[in-house]
Amino acid sequence: MPPMPQLNDFYTEGFGWICRHCERQFEREHTADESEAEYKDPEPANRPLAKWTDKTRRFLTCPRCGITEAAELS
């Protein structure tokens, strides 16, 4: 298995790329909610997953904050 590229703005947990910026915001929103019942594990679908901008999989973009980074594997 080829090594995953190390990106400044995204990281992968194996099932997809997650925006570091939105992940921080996401966790702030969840930890700030301490008055809400008990902590629930975030569903992957609720996390800020990035998308490829095209079929060549060269650029990742975050649909939430709009950041884009080149992620060339070669």
Do 60 and 10 meet the contact criterion of CB atoms below 8 Å apart? yes
Supply the minimum distance, in Å, between the C-beta of residue 66 and Zn ion.
Answer: 7
Taking alpha carbons only, the member of 70, 53, 71, 67 closest to residue 24 is 67
Q: Is residue 62 close enough to count as binding Zn ion by CB under 5 A?
A: yes
Say whether residue 22 binds Zn ion (CB under 5 A): yes
From 10-18, 22-30, 39-47, 51-59, span contacting Zn ion (CB under 5 A): 22-30
Which residues are near Zn ion by CB under 5 A? 19, 21-22, 62, 64-65
